[in-house]
Amino acid sequence: MLDVILEVMRAEGGSVMLLDDSNQELTVKSARGLKREIIKKARVCLGSGVAGKVAAMGRSVFLKGNEGERYLKIGAEDLVNPEINTAFVAPIKFSDRTIGVININSTHSDHEITPGKERLVQEILNHFFEYLIQVELPVSHHEPPSQLYMMNIFQEYSTLRELRGIFDYIFQLISEVLGVKKKGFFLLRNQDSGFFDLVLGYGFQIRNYREIYEDLIPQFKEARIDSLRNITVLNREDFISTSKDLFSENSLILIPLKLEDTVKGHILFLDDVTPEPDSKTNHLVQTICAIAARTIEESISGRKFRELGFTDNLTGTYNYGLWWRRLNEEISRAQRQGEMNISLIVIDIDKFNRLNIAHGYYVGDQLLRIIADRINGSVRPTDIVGRIGGEEFGIVLSGTGKQQAKNVADRIVDAVSGIPTEMRITLSYPITFSCGIAEFPDDATTSGELVERSKTALVSAKIMGGNRIKLFEQLEE
């Protein structure tokens, strides 16, 4: 929860403090950017200090520099860190009582800690409690909940990857039938929480996805679109804070995905003109949407896409078991056909543990997920991509020699090199990647040997300082 809010606010530090009813003190339960000794010693009495006054009054506060807040009687003596540029402190409420506070702060001026984000923070807090209730998480449970779930990117990322081809096809098909622009996105309703999940967007810049998620999606919830059962056209004027950079179209064409009488989600198209479909076209669109709704329902309930059990939940790539099986199948096919070479790239993130320690596992997970997407975008559909270690990916390239595989590895490294900047992470050191490449049958005659040789080349690249691509050579054994 804390990581998600820090990401939304573009802030580098913060903490969650919970109230101990026995002594009416707030203590730090989770923190980012605080020294360990401060976390252990921090004790704030209810009604004193910034956190204590926010908890006592049950009201949020934004603080700029050394300025206090009169309505909460926060003065200069309460502001313990003069280096903080901006801070946001909000009460955490559950069952109509304050159980703690969340502190978000930044020492830099390029943050997004603004009053306009307060509603979004409250949505995240509410969603977090709904998630806890849903899974009946015991107090002693120390494993973090799925951050992808918290970020409203469908329930399992692997399911989204499996369904993506279907979503793409349905979106393109309906746009053709209605004669509208191929621009818009899917809104799926999470049946447990009632929140909308932004699944896929079409025709938008990636940089606009955050604005869609933070500013536009909550307005759909307020518009109560779940009561809409037919194609409905909304006007741009009905939505506030929608900049021309986000979209300039005047009409928002909303189409429900109905399964019997239940709306599973909506498809939204953006266009300057309003379509006027006849009864035949209307019926065709409804039929397509009903099929889409049933596909979504069956995939979530587990009656379809059985192979999801073999995919990595975080990245959506093959897990090691299925990846190994597919590698063996390719080797067997190459042996039967003869004169067919296979190259294996093993790519590893250098010093990944340092990143997890410095920035938290949520950032590390997000990085892995984006890397997996970039890898998939850099290879052919027939190539086999799997997460075969914590931060290690394996790419099987059929009919490809080592030199060609190196070109692919170069393309992958180029595609992933700018990710930290796009994620707006300020690192004390650059993220680099090491690759090891081996070829069947020149370097190995079995799948086991091919993996071993590729990892040998990877180790050589690491020993040489990392940040390089290494082809296997017999001398390296």
Report if residue 306 sits inside a domain.
no
- 319 and 294 in a common domain: no
Judgement on whether residues 120 and 222 belong to the same structural domain of the protein: no
User: How many CA atoms are closer than 13 Å to the CA of 215, on its beta-carbon side?
Assistant: 13
Could you tell me which of 113, 119, 61 has the C-alpha nearest to residue 85? 113
| Rounded mean pLDDT, 11-23 | 87
For residue 369, give the nearest of 78, 158, 195 by alpha carbon.
158
β-strand partners of 439: 343
pLDDT band at 78; cut points 50, 70, 90: low
Clarify whether residues 325 and 464 are in a common domain: yes
Assess whether 282 and 257 both reside in one domain: yes
- Whether 287 and 332 map to the same domain: the answer is no
Report how many domains make up the chain: 3
Cβ pair 47, 65 in contact under 8 A = no
Q: Is residue 410 part of a domain?
A: yes
> Do residues 114 and 240 share a domain?
no
- CATH, residue 200: 3.30.450.40
Q: What is the pLDDT of residue 75?
A: 63
- Domain with residue 354: its CATH number is 3.30.70.270
- Of 266, 301, 336, the residue that ends a domain is 301
pLDDT of residue 407 exceeding 90 = yes
Report pLDDT for 301: 55
* Range from 200-209, 236-245, 258-267, 294-303 carrying the lowest mean pLDDT: 294-303
Q: Is residue 79 part of a domain?
A: yes
Co-location of 278 and 378 in the same domain: no
Q: What is the pLDDT of residue 245?
A: 67
Q: Is residue 405 predicted with pLDDT exceeding 70?
A: yes
Tell me what pLDDT residue 306 has.
43
Other beta carbons less than 10 A from residue 343's beta carbon: 29
User: End of a domain among 264, 279, 301?
Assistant: 301
Which of 114-118, 192-196, 205-209, 378-382 shows the highest mean pLDDT? 378-382
Residue 67 or residue 422, greater confidence: 422
Per-residue model confidence (pLDDT) at position 346: 97
Give mean pLDDT, residues 105-117: 79
Please check whether residue 343 is in contact with residue 412, taking contact to mean a CB–CB distance below 8 angstroms.
no
176 and 65 within one domain: no
- Do 329 and 293 belong together in one domain? no
In whole numbers, what is the pLDDT of the chain averaged over residues?
A: 77
List C-alpha distances in Å: 445 to 260, 328, 382, 402, 454. Answer: 55, 11, 22, 15, 13
Domain termination site, one of 301, 319, 350: 301
User: Is the per-residue pLDDT at 68 higher than 80?
Assistant: no
User: Who wins on pLDDT, 149 or 227?
Assistant: 227
Where residue 205 falls among pLDDT bands split at 50, 70, 90?
low
The model's confidence at residue 236, banded by pLDDT at 50, 70 and 90, is confident
Residues 385 and 292 in one domain: no
Instruction: Give the rounded percent of residues in the chain with a pLDDT score beyond 90.
Output: 17
The percent of residues above 70 in pLDDT, for the chain, comes to 74
Instruction: Encode 9-38: b = buried (16+ Cβ within 10 Å), e = exposed.
Output: bbbbbbbbbbbeeeeebbbbebbbeeeeee
Same domain for 107 and 244, yes or no, is no
Q: Assess if residue 83 is contained within a domain.
A: yes
Tell me, yes or no, whether 151 lies in a domain. Answer: no
User: Which tens digit of pLDDT belongs to each residue from 415-430?
Assistant: 888 777 777 777 777 7
What's the pLDDT score for residue 319? 80
Q: What is the pLDDT of residues 271-281, one digit of tens each?
A: 988 888 888 88
The pLDDT, as a whole number, for residue 343 is 96
Q: Is residue 150 in some structural domain?
A: no
Tokens of 279: 């009864």
Lowest mean pLDDT among 44-53, 152-161, 254-263, 399-408: 152-161
For residue 26, the enclosing domain spans 2-144
pLDDT at residue 250 tops 90 = no
Task: Indicate whether 260 and 322 sit together in one domain.
Answer: no
pLDDT, one tens digit per residue, over 386-399 is 998 888 999 999 99
Dump pLDDT digits (tens) for 285-323.
Answer: 888 888 888 877 776 554 444 444 566 767 878 887 778
Assess if residue 149 is contained within a domain. Answer: no
Predicted TM-score of the model (pTM): 0.42
Greater confidence (392 vs 229) lies with: 392
- For residues 389 and 451, the answer to whether their CB atoms sit within 8 Å is no
Over 70: is that where the pLDDT of 131 sits?
no
Residue 458 lies in a domain: yes
Rounded alpha-carbon distances, angstroms, from residue 37 to 31, 77, 189: 12, 22, 43
